[in-house]
Structure 1
């Protein structure tokens, strides 16, 4: 690794400065020659003359070197294909100076690089090992699960190569790696189940693992051989099989007691998904063709992993598509958005990989799963106003300070801001994963001072080191984020449709209101004309009262609806109210206005609460009016007022059939379909109960419906002192 400046803090960023792709050295069990586009020798390793028996004269043409016809043919073929994209390696067996070499030639940039790697095994022995790889590939293809696939792969590679230990790493989202499969020689301590930190493989090493998927260090204690050249830019050795490795990596392996090492990358969709790491306790040279067989095994392994992942992703996509179809259909036909979401909570949670859900809109919450209401409220309170439509949190320290302790274990959040107009959120939640991690040694590196100044050193101990990890949840995968993004888009469109329908209903309301006002106003005008010529007590006076009262109620409901929908609220004016006297007065008014209705009462006297008297009277009047409209003719309407330790309960009862179950969730919604088509309430628009519910909630109370045969009962529970903010 390059020396860091004394003032620069040491960390993993410093490791990225190490130019490991241009080390300027090779391992000594082979020699290297590099030619330019005109086949002239430009770079050569210091051992080329002794090992190959050739004289590497600078600028000499390739065919002037005694490399043999097979090697020269590889070099010529590579020169013919040389271009910006490079030329993949080609290999042949050659004999030079009485030795057998694997000659491997590849092209990169403006160079053709020929590497001559010594081989001691005869060709028939190498071929036998390569045949084993074909059998391994067939077995790997038949695996149906990733854990079994990886275990089979390490066993097969161990059998092909003879390494003492073969491990399969699977990398996590933070680039740390778990040993998930292992084949180990008897007598060695197993590493299965241990985790290794991301710092063990710095970023530039990950890049090389991705583009050069197999690396061999035949002897950890080797002495590097320098690569000489004619000047210019350093030789890019990213694809070289003999490339010398980082001194820090050598030190790391020496600390593990390893004598030789081979790594085979598992690259899935262009990303380093995992790694097969092979260790031997003594030096070990694995012939190139056997290594290539292992590389093919790893490619089949990666393809199988990709296929299994794709199968899981396809199943998730199909499940999510079905969930979206049913959810959006319900949203478009259900008046209550939260109730519609609640109907599909199980399938939504499964598609998003969530342990709990919270649906929030216009201050109302619905919780699905083992989540306390107080925690749900704290989670909703922590949400930003506006901002990103897809909100992610996976760590406790990512939450606003006040919420970190209030949310309990629910540190993982995926928020879908599906309707900004009504502050509509769908929140998917995950609990923190408290786990004990078996690190393969303490993960932090240490700083030591060497000849080039301070530098990070690799870990010196690989004894098991336990760490309890808290405050983090499993991050949301790319697949779940895709599901969330698609669901968010569909919910956006459904919200726009709902808002368009609401706007049409508003226009319909105004049109109907204008029509309904026309007749009462005409009655008032005619009655006023007659009364100018008659005495008091004329029956038309009652007609004036009824018509003008109905007109006033319609106007008031429209104004209240507008305030609620615009977010202004109902502006409650709180003061002490004798609710018993209010109930009696309202009942008397109803008896006077509707003498044909049998009104009965059970009112506890002298009950006082803190409330807005006019708004509370509006609630009671609305419930009495509903009972009169919908009650069975000839049967009594009962007004009940009770007091207990919790507060006051007001109930209005009438004889009637129970409300259909599918309509109950819509009772307190505006513009209810059942109201728009109800002949018993010809002039109603379904606003009365909606406004009444908002008034009650504004007082910190609750309004509800139940059926106790033969009575339809609407009940209002209010605290003695209003909790309105």
Structure 2
């Protein structure tokens, strides 16, 4: 019929379960079917039918108004009801039945059968019946399980207590007891009010002690009162005790521990459900309950319920005569008991007293639960304070390391171990906070990771850990564990064993059952001291609440961080994608323009050659020469374009290594101006250059080559865009950046528009923005600034065009300059080089009036840095254009290239130069590196032209093999010239370090082959071999002895295409004599 077993008792671990129960634990004490004698009577009936289901055997003879009154219809309608069911003065029932009938045992059984077969209305006065059903209706409306009413009969008062054994109220229990007229309810009320006021002054466990003392004094019949508090392992300890002042009790239970088995499982459940239990007399009799249901009447809410024999023996063994226990239930858990013992005479608390005690019980339970919640709230607040320190920018693992010790203290735990996976790292990170001796093994994580996601796994004891994980203490040293697993982390919180001395009330490890399974009563005064008891500290509801809050917060932080990183990665990916898309678009536009620019000169080359091919028989030599010159000019333009593209690629993709050199500032400025002055005059441009300061020898340190490249490019542009006009170049050496900007500001303010580039991201279009940016930069006294301004009187630019001028392939759109040919890459290269050197480049212009470019480059002071720098002169670049090393000739020339066209062109070019010098030297060809090495071993050529990029055996490998062969056979070293389109310094160094003497670019510079052939000297040949030029026999190493300026003139004449002058200079070089000049 349900009752106590329908209640869900949720304790941690297996605190209250059916596992491992003794016979006493399994005994259903709420189905004992007996009540205590001399306390009252019980009756059970169905609702709303009112059919009597059970009653005790003494009710008929002990309750004078409980007698048969007729069938239900008669009781409701006859004259008998005119008195409203009251009995007459003589004690007779309204239907004439006598109340003094004395019945024998057999007759009792027969009468009880009659009672169980009838309705309640047939046995109680109608007025009582009416009160009962009105009370039941109120219970039903209020969904309560108990109700009280009072009934008077013959100037005596009876208390009737109604309770339901089922939530649906299908069975009602009715307890009837006689009220002592001497009881004063007002006194109990005043006591409760006073207790409530006193309790409000306390916020700790003292209120439980206060309640115990209050009840003890309120009843006044007990000799000892105690507060019995339970621990997480269900053992209990007496924490407070009160005794009568006039008693001779010497013993004390304070501080004693009692094993969990002393209070059986069924009794614990009953206390949670019932709340109050009393025993009038441990030696008293019992009254049987007879029912129609075979002993299945639930006595959970029956205060008169009898006790088990084992419990009565327990009480007798302690010398107890009567007792009462009040349960303190907080948050659905049995917190403790208020226990009262009497040792002299029986005592039964009256209904008013029990109501007062139950009220006190409710007050104490609420107060204890409030204290627990307050403690829990305090811990939550402290947890929140810890979590405020959580840094969103840091990973979960790093945050746990930071606040872990505080969190561990809040958990009242010894170790916190977790694996935390951060989206920014590929592997999960292990974090340990607390006692490292309690860290579980890898096997533990492997086992517990099989548990469901998002569920808190609680293991309160070593036995539970072993039962759940099957792991030894080595793999899981903690004695109680909580584990949680999420998609981004898994965490374990553990506690170690507690060791303490315990004062037991009797040896808890001795068996407490007799051989027949009944309880063997212990002597509670036999003290047993256990030294160093090992106990696992179980997890309380407060612990779990704090842990769940922490885990929820941690999971939230982990998932939020994942979303932040994911969002950031998406944003970065989008930005990267858009940047790549813009780059791709820019590259597409750039290379579309470049393709057009390459096709233009290429069309010029191919067009001229096609015309010569088709009309060579009809064209004059002058026309052919003109077409050839046009083809050469187009080819030169295409070469320059390719050089610019390579320069841009190197600036963009290769490391920006700067070669700091020490050089003379005035010499450099003068050299640049003089080298381009002739070009300006050729284009009818007035050229004026000013170098400030005008005098002095100032050495500075910078990448000299890049400085020349930038300034020369700007001047060359000015010459092209100011045909017939004039340009002004001013070189200045300024002490600081701010002073340089001041000078630039004065010039730029005279123009309508400007653009200023300083660094890869800094692009400005107003003077104010430039000044503000420069003001934020730290000023350095270590560097000076070369400031060069190039002003032209050309077409100028519209303001909207100026900003685009520093992008690749950008030129002014003015139609009057459509005839000016250029690639638009020069300025872009200048900007890139300026960025590499931490300089700036600015353009200011007014449409129709002209443009001025400013370039500022920081340079170091080279006065004390000569030892660390490469000292160069103004002639260095010119002198190093072609080598001056003599080339001894005693064998043929070998040309190696996998491309037949390249071999043919180089062969014909060499043959032409040999003819010009009157040399007859055999030229061999090889179509690959393998064939090249083979021909070398067979023919022993003196000079080899080897292509760098070839399939299978490339030029580098072929050179290595040739040099190895020469070393092995101690033969004279041939002169190897590597030629390639890869003109980077890295490739040049690689080739030279592996045996290359000289490097020739593709296509070779003008005059290069003439320079090479001009350095030949034939071993064992006479001057007659140069009959066509009438040159004398070569003097060995004559070129090395020439004045460097003479060699420079030779190379300059060659580069300018003056073959006649070149021959004359070569004659001087080979003969060692100056040519006789004609008048």
Per the TM superposition, whether the score is higher than 0.5 is: yes
**What CA distance in whole angstroms lies between the structure 1 residues aligned with 2:581 and 2:229?**
71
Of the candidates 194, 200, 206, which is equivalent to residue 135 of structure 1? 194
* Aligned counterparts of 1:381 and 1:36: Cα–Cα separation in 2: 56
Change in 2 beyond 3 A, CA 1:514/1:293: same
Structure 1 counterpart of 2:473, from 381, 390, 404? 404
Shift of 1:94: 4.6
Q: 1:239 aligns with which of 301, 308, 314?
A: 301
Distance 1:501 1:281, change over 3 A: same
Cα separation, 2, equivalents of 1:233 and 1:402: 47
- Aligned residue number for residue 491 of structure 1: 557
What RMSD, in angstroms, separates the aligned Cα atoms of the two structures? Answer: 4.8
Q: String of CA shifts for 1:116-151, please: whole Å, max 9, x gaps.
A: 3355x5424565355333322322233211x21111
The answer as to whether partners of 2:139 and 2:147 remain within 8 angstroms in 1 is: no
Aligned to 1:316: 379
Partners of 1:494 and 1:634 in 2: CA distance: 50
Matches within 5 A, 1:417-428: 417=485, 420=488, 424-428=489-493
Gaps of 5+ in 1: 1-8, 552-632, 636-678, 683-725
Contact 1:182–1:191 under 8 Å retained in 2: yes
Gap change, CA 1:430 and 1:55, over 3 Å in 2: same
Q: What SS does the corresponding residue of 2:218 show, helix, strand or coil?
A: helix
Pairwise mapping of residues 417-566 of structure 1 onto structure 2 (< 5 A)?
A: 417=485, 420=488, 424-443=489-508, 446=511, 454-462=516-524, 463-467=526-530, 468-470=532-534, 472-475=536-539, 477-501=543-567, 503-504=569-570, 507=573, 511=577
User: What is the CA-CA distance between 1:465 and the residue it aligns to?
Assistant: 3.0
Structure 1 residues 233 and 347, CA, compared in 2 at 3 Å: closer, same or farther?
same
Offset of 1:214 from its aligned partner? Answer: 1.4
2:348 to 285, 294, 312: 285
Residue 825 of structure 2: aligned partner: none
Contact in 2 for aligned 1:442/1:461 (Cα 8 Å): no
Return closer, same or farther for 1:458/1:62 CA change in 2, 3 Å cut-off.
same
1:432–1:470 CA contact under 8 A, matched in 2: yes
- Provide, for residues 162-196 of structure 1, a one-character-per-residue CA deviation record: whole Å limited to 9, x for no partner: 22222223333333333333223462422223333
* Equivalent residue, structure 1, for 2:30: 21
Contact map agreement 1:141 1:300 (CA 8 A) in 2: no
Tell me what 1:589 maps to. none
Name 1:104's counterpart in structure 2. 161
Q: TM-score, normalised by structure 1?
A: 0.61
The answer to whether residue 155 in structure 2 is matched with residue 155 in structure 1 is no
C-alpha contact 1:28 1:222 (8 A) present in aligned 2: yes
Report the alpha carbon displacement of residue 155 of structure 1 after superposing the two structures with TM.
0.9
Question: 1:209 aligns to what SS in structure 2?
Answer: helix
Q: Is the 8 A contact 1:446 1:457 kept in 2?
A: no
263, 272, 275: which is aligned to 2:325? 263
Partner of 1:272, secondary structure, is strand
Give yes or no for the alignment of 1:205 onto 2:270: no
> Does the Cα contact within 8 Å between 1:447 and 1:455 map onto a contact in 2?
no
- Secondary structure of the equivalent of 1:166? strand
Higher strand share: 1
Q: Between Structure 1 and Structure 2, how many residues are aligned?
A: 534
Which stretch has the larger CA shift, 80-89 or 464-473? Answer: 80-89
Consecutive unaligned residues in structure 2, runs of 5 or more:
1-17, 69-110, 421-426, 599-634, 657-779, 783-834, 839-1079
Which digits, 9 at most, give the CA deviation of each residue in 1:238-262, with x for residues without a partner?
Answer: 2222122222322232233221111
Q: CA offset at residue 461 of structure 1?
A: 2.9
Give distance in 1, aligned partners of 2:175 and 2:313.
25
CA distance in 2, matches of 1:49, 1:485: 63
**Partner SS for 1:220:** coil
Q: TM (normalized to structure 2)?
A: 0.43
Q: Secondary structure at the match of 1:460?
A: coil
CA contact (8 A) 1:94 1:103 kept: no
Partner Cα separation in structure 2 for residue 32 and residue 357 of structure 1: 57
Tell me the equivalent position of 2:369: 306
**1:161 CA displacement:** 1.6
User: Does the Cα contact within 8 Å between 1:169 and 1:275 map onto a contact in 2?
Assistant: yes
1:294 positional shift? 0.9
In the alignment, structure 1 residue 220 sits paired with structure 2 residue 282: yes
Of 31, 43, 54 in structure 2, the residue corresponding to residue 33 of structure 1 is 43
Check the 8 A contact 2:330/2:366 in 1, yes or no.
yes
- Once the two structures are superposed, residues 363-410 of structure 1 have per-residue CA deviations (whole angstroms, 9 ceiling, x without a partner) of 644444x534x75474897464464454544444527677734776x5
**Counterpart residue number, 2:233:** 174
| Cα pair distance change 1:20/1:336, threshold 3 Å | closer
Instruction: Determine helix, strand or coil for the equivalent of 1:312.
Output: helix
- Relative to 1, partners in 2 of residues 1:440 and 1:239: Cα closer, same or farther, differing over 3 Å? same
Q: C-alpha distance in 2, partners of 1:87/1:376?
A: 51
What is the distance in 2 between the residues matched to 1:634 and 1:428? 61
Out of 66, 77, 82, the position equivalent to 2:134 is 77
Q: Distance in 2 between matches of 1:431 and 1:391?
A: 17
Asked which structure has the greater RCO (Cα within 8 Å, sep 6+), the reply is 1
CA distance change for structure 1 residues 316 and 448 in 2, over 3 Å: closer, same or farther?
closer
Q: Distance in 1 between matches of 2:510 and 2:177?
A: 35
- Alpha-carbon separation, structure 1, partners of 2:441 and 2:208: 43
Please give the alpha-carbon distance, in whole angstroms, between the structure 2 residues aligned to 1:291 and 1:202: 24
Confirm or deny that 1:273 pairs with 2:335: yes
Post-superposition CA distance 1:13-34 (Å, at most 9, x none): 6445433223221111122334
